[in-house]
Structure 1
Amino acid sequence: MDSRNQSESTSQKEITIVLDDDPTGTQSVSGVSVILQPDYETLRSELVQGPIGNALYVLTNTRALPQAQAVALLIRIKADAERAAVEANVAVRFLLRSDSTLRGHVFAEMEALSGGIRGTALFVPAFPECGRVTRGGVHYLLTNSNEDATTTNWIPVAATEFAQDPVFGYKGATMQEWVEEVSHGSWKLKSVTLDDYANIGIASAVCRALLEAEQGTVVVPDAQSYEDLLRVADGLRMAEEQGKEVIVRSASTFASIRCGLKSRAMERVAMPGSGRLLIVCGSHTAASSRQLKQLERHTGETAIVLPTQQLLHHEQIAAAEIAERLAVKLNESKLAIVATERVRLAEHGDLAIGALVMKALTNVVAQVAPYCDGVIAKGGITSADVASVGLGADTAYVAGQLEPGVSLWLLKAKGNGREIPYCVVPGNVGDEGTLVRLVRKFNAIGGSSQ
């Protein structure tokens, strides 16, 4: 929902603030700043000096928080941003960047953004670049058949491993069922389907759906391509021009369109120093484990694993031992891999245990940061905490994308202020060779080849 300053001066510049529930929201953008540790002073500084372009990304990382904390954080950030915007004499509007596989505190965060009420919302989870599309009121993950790469499999996301998430899991196969399940019946769905588009076009169909939607209604449009998303954005603009207030939540592609940003393909990464590369894998998805296995096979390096059970009783000792082993690897081999356990026991599946493991992981990264010239982080929550806590960065600059859905950030590590190339690899993105290809791109300039 647009949340503009009280001043309605036509000379005011409007900034779109993207509230990103994990750092993978920059998958489709480049040339934009990201606030990693949001507070009033940082927001004020960015808005006063003027963000690059007309957008500013703010990492909330609320997917790693219990719902009550996530809501409180969003309310605080929104209030800080609006207060800072007054000082900067700019108008601000907000967008909630969301997971393309339907995870997160979706409805609680939309209500928080609209002052605790259930307004009218537009939810656009489609992410065509990585095969997440919505058709006929069902959200799909598209994959190629292993036997025939030309055959596309349409898999409802409810049938994928992402729907089995221990915190944000769901069973609803259609968007109707998903909204009913995840909102506990407190929100209603209004789908905009291909049949609606055929009659009056995408933009007009979306505009009409938004204008007709009652309070507590979420509009979810079919979208299978970037061009579809452009038209959905047109429909949103048309509704807003007629005075409709809309809470907007979307995957990364629609967020980039809303901000007027584009991706930038990058083929190589220049590392400073001697090219020492640290790979951090915190994601537990099966896809992440397959990528990690391929990386070990191609590089000959074995991942050093954080033992969850040991961390529960001797966190500091375990972290120090692992950090020492990684530092030796980085200095001798120029490449080191650290990972969480691949098999997560049922008793280790809640947010509290996850937070403990992440605390240990960031502690390890903080200790080896002086020995790193580049970092690849696999997993959304992992990427957020390793950047902001492990490396101590306050802000980052999105340089571009190394692969579809995989962003390269430039950030300054705490302490010596060195600029480090930092690769954000979402847990739900990539094939088995993704991490292997990324390591090669990092080693293309500077550093040794593996």
Structure 2
Amino acid sequence: MSRIESLNGADMHTDSTLKIVAIDDDPTGSQTVHSCLLLTRWGIDTLTAGLLDDAPLFFVLSNTRGMGAEQAANVTREICRNLHDAVDRLARQGKSIKLVVVSRSDSTLRGHYPIETDVIAEQMGPFDAHFLVPAFIDGGRITRDSTHYLIVDGEPVPVHETEFAKDSVFGFSTAYLPDYVAEKTSGRIKAADVERFVLDDIRGDISGRLRALSGNTCCVVDAETQADLNQFARQVLAVAGEGRRFLFRSAASLLTALAQLPPQPVVANEMHRYVRNAKPGVVLVGSHVETTSRQLHYLTEHTDIVPVHVDLDALQQDADALFDRLCIEVKAAIGSGRSAVLFTSRGERQFASKAERLSFGELVSGFLMRLVQALPREIGFLISKGGITSNDTLSIGLALKTARVLGQVRAGCSVVVCPEDHPRYPKLPVVIFPGNVGGESALADAFATLTRQTQTAGSKDVAYA
């Protein structure tokens, strides 16, 4: 058996530990799981710690959605090579680890597909198939008849008719997944060659079809409920246990099915227990999608939180002056016993090229991380809104190598805690809040869960309990 074959799927019935590794293009893939590690670094020692952790899965936060295609490929390749070496190290110590690899990405089809799955297949293959499973049940993303939908006001809307399909870097023209695959692979994988597992299929017995897959066949999978994904995961893991080798490109809900975790130990409405000394906190809003803008408006209108505008025009003119002013405003809010929300200018800007757009994003993110590093030491909590923003908050702003997911403060929004020995924010709870998750009041609801107090909107008191 080759080293690559020993890594994933083969001889799972032998005495070995099965570990699910999610290479996550931003940190929001943990939004349906708990008690597992997020790794913001991928050195061999850090990956070894993840492989030895008691949880059945861990996440490697690659943040590739915020990178260009070439850098994303290089980072993914480095992670895979280091995973090889970490597994080899443990094998030499008599610890056999078998991997199930998931390329976790956006539930609205944005991301570097097929670049990341191609690199994983190159480094860790050969695979018999790779499965696209974009359903995110908690977030209202379902797939039916191989078409991916976003539930809006109770009605399914094909995702190509939503704002997410117009993304300036990751835009697409169709929600019908075989055609999406053909579009993203520039015809290398033809729509007719994509294997479709529709609802009737996965609710029955698909084991025979799974065993027949070969040559890294592209498969797309329907799901309307978590039970659908649970049924699919049971069958695909069983067949993998016979020696078939599978790769997954999925949203978060598949990870719940693969890991088979029990309910989280601390329920959502008790997450306020982790707030330090019942102190006010900071909400950081970097996401620019319309969902976030509506949530931000609701938060500022229905609570007494202090709005602090990160003016992107001012950032380009005099970053240091803007930084000093914002630090003063946040410190004043916290000192008065009120939380503050730092938010960037709304709307997505247009750029002449993808490279210019990514470069501007790096400028904004770098500035936001300066702010995170300078927040008052005594804050009680931090909510980070947006996937790339949250990744940078964990890995750069807070300089965490690893963090453990406690669970969700609301559907799709994970809570992690800084370690006790953190030099600036020991035991600070941090909410990872995706940009495209939740209804209008979702951000205010999460804020209210942590503050556990009546918030004031003008002369009107709005109680959140």
- TM-score w.r.t. structure 2 length? 0.87
Could you give the per-residue CA deviations for residues 369-388 of structure 1, whole angstroms, max 9, x where no partner exists? 52422001111111111122
Stretch moving more, 32-41 or 156-165: 32-41
Per the alignment, residue 279 of structure 2 pairs with: 275
Q: CA deviation at 1:251?
A: 1.0
Could you give the per-residue CA deviations for residues 6-64 of structure 1, whole angstroms, max 9, x where no partner exists? 997933322211111111111110111111233222223343xx213222221111111
The secondary structure found in structure 2 opposite 1:333 is coil
Distance 1:110 1:227, change over 3 A: same
Per the alignment, residue 463 of structure 2 pairs with: none
1:73 & 1:173 partners in 2: Cα distance?
28
Per the alignment, residue 190 of structure 1 pairs with: 195
Aligned match for 2:175, one of 173, 176, 181: 173
2:11 & 2:234 partners in 1: Cα distance?
23
Per the alignment, residue 462 of structure 2 pairs with: none
The secondary structure found in structure 1 opposite 2:170 is coil
1:370 & 1:389 partners in 2: Cα distance?
16
1:118 & 1:110 partners in 2: Cα distance?
12
8 Å CA contact retained: 1:13, 1:91: yes
Give matches, 1:18-33, under 5 Å. Answer: 18-33=22-37
Per the alignment, residue 135 of structure 1 pairs with: 144
Stretch moving more, 123-132 or 235-244: 235-244
Distance 1:153 1:66, change over 3 A: same
8 Å CA contact retained: 2:289, 2:347: no
Distance 1:293 1:407, change over 3 A: same
8 Å CA contact retained: 1:187, 1:216: no
- Which residue identity lines up with residue 343 of structure 1 in the other structure? G
Q: CA deviation at 1:275?
A: 1.0
2:103 & 2:310 partners in 1: Cα distance?
32
Per the alignment, residue 40 of structure 1 pairs with: 44
The secondary structure found in structure 1 opposite 2:377 is helix
Could you give the per-residue CA deviations for residues 171-228 of structure 1, whole angstroms, max 9, x where no partner exists? 1131122111112112242212235x2xxx63533x4444444535310121111111
- Which residue identity lines up with residue 142 of structure 2 in the other structure? V
Distance 1:165 1:209, change over 3 A: farther
8 Å CA contact retained: 1:187, 1:217: no
Residue 91 in 1 paired to residue 89 in 2? Answer: no
8 Å CA contact retained: 1:75, 1:112: yes
Per the alignment, residue 310 of structure 1 pairs with: 314
8 Å CA contact retained: 2:11, 2:241: no
8 Å CA contact retained: 2:304, 2:455: no
Per the alignment, residue 408 of structure 1 pairs with: 415
Identity of aligned residues (%): 27
8 Å CA contact retained: 2:11, 2:243: no
- Which residue identity lines up with residue 24 of structure 2 in the other structure? D
Residue 424 in 1 paired to residue 432 in 2? Answer: yes
Per the alignment, residue 387 of structure 2 pairs with: 380
1:177 & 1:257 partners in 2: Cα distance?
26
Q: CA deviation at 1:242?
A: 4.2
Q: CA deviation at 1:67?
A: 1.3
2:262 & 2:69 partners in 1: Cα distance?
31
Residue 335 in 1 paired to residue 342 in 2? Answer: no
Distance 1:403 1:274, change over 3 A: closer
8 Å CA contact retained: 1:374, 1:422: yes
Distance 1:407 1:382, change over 3 A: same
1:396 & 1:18 partners in 2: Cα distance?
15
Per the alignment, residue 325 of structure 2 pairs with: 321
The secondary structure found in structure 1 opposite 2:375 is helix
2:436 & 2:331 partners in 1: Cα distance?
29
- Which residue identity lines up with residue 91 of structure 1 in the other structure? I
2:349 & 2:62 partners in 1: Cα distance?
27
Q: CA deviation at 1:239?
A: 3.4
Aligned match for 1:354, one of 358, 361, 374: 361
8 Å CA contact retained: 1:191, 1:220: yes
Q: CA deviation at 1:249?
A: 1.5
2:212 & 2:376 partners in 1: Cα distance?
53
Distance 1:303 1:297, change over 3 A: same
2:161 & 2:46 partners in 1: Cα distance?
41
Q: CA deviation at 1:130?
A: 1.8
1:90 & 1:318 partners in 2: Cα distance?
53
Aligned match for 1:288, one of 289, 292, 303: 292
1:262 & 1:187 partners in 2: Cα distance?
38
2:197 & 2:230 partners in 1: Cα distance?
15
8 Å CA contact retained: 1:316, 1:360: no
- TM-score w.r.t. structure 1 length? 0.89
Stretch moving more, 185-194 or 104-113: 185-194
1:55 & 1:185 partners in 2: Cα distance?
34
Per the alignment, residue 147 of structure 1 pairs with: none
Stretch moving more, 385-394 or 231-240: 231-240
The secondary structure found in structure 2 opposite 1:100 is coil
Distance 1:193 1:424, change over 3 A: same
Q: CA deviation at 1:444?
A: 2.1
Per the alignment, residue 203 of structure 2 pairs with: 202
Moved over 6 A (4+): 6-9
Q: CA deviation at 1:81?
A: 2.1
Per the alignment, residue 124 of structure 1 pairs with: 133
Q: CA RMSD in A?
A: 2.5
8 Å CA contact retained: 2:306, 2:338: no
The secondary structure found in structure 2 opposite 1:261 is coil
The secondary structure found in structure 1 opposite 2:277 is coil
- Which residue identity lines up with residue 46 of structure 2 in the other structure? T
Stretch moving more, 22-31 or 299-308: 299-308
8 Å CA contact retained: 1:30, 1:262: no
8 Å CA contact retained: 1:30, 1:398: yes
Q: CA deviation at 1:311?
A: 2.2
Could you give the per-residue CA deviations for residues 49-97 of structure 1, whole angstroms, max 9, x where no partner exists? x213222221111111111111111111122122122323241412111
Structure 1 residue ranges without an equivalent (≥5): 145-151
